[in-house]
Amino acid sequence: MLSAMPKMRNRFRTIGAAVIFGAVLTMSAASGAQGAGEAFTATAAVKTATGGGAQANVTITLDRAMPQKEAETLTAAFKAGGAAAFRKALTGVPPTGSVQIGSGPSTPTRLTIERPTPEGRLLMIVTDRPLAFLGAGLPGAKAKEGYDFAVIEMVIDAKGNGSGTIAPAAKLKLNAGALVVEDYAAEVVQLTAVKKTK
């Protein structure tokens, strides 16, 4: 399982080539109708600098499209009060779908943004609680506080196949309008063999 991975350094990345909290994000939300009623399977895999690794099956469902007004409210909360305000605004938001790692529990997703790409579409999916802390039980593991989200990015082609990444535990912040993810672990957890099953 992914949770068996050793502790690694912090990793930062700016997600989504143009997934910006602002006009672009709300415009993306308006185009999300295609995602409703879909399901995907994938393999989450991570490798460490020492050559170790782990993998797990992942199931992602997209149950509803997020209305533009709802996305605008979440955007405004993040801009006004950062990740804490964003997380509070997500409280009570009907799930947009769910994500399940291996045989673990299914976790509701609270934010799903879709935007077209030349090859198909980009999906950004956020949960309001972490899915897993890689290496948290090992000696010297850093504190879990603040890693309150999980973030999934997938690029899907016209046939429903694709690839992506998943940050199972992440901090979120804004930098010049872009959403920046700080992973609990430094190594990228890749989503491979992404396939639409519904």
pTM score over 0.85 = no
Find out whether 111 and 101 touch, Cβ atoms under 8 Å: no
Give dist(CA 59, CA 63) in Å, integer: 13
Give dist(CA 117, CA 120) in Å, integer: 5
The pLDDT tens digits for 89-127 are 998 899 999 999 999 899 999 988 888 888 899 888 999
For 77, the 3-state DSSP assignment is helix
What is the mean pLDDT of the segment spanning 123-133?
91
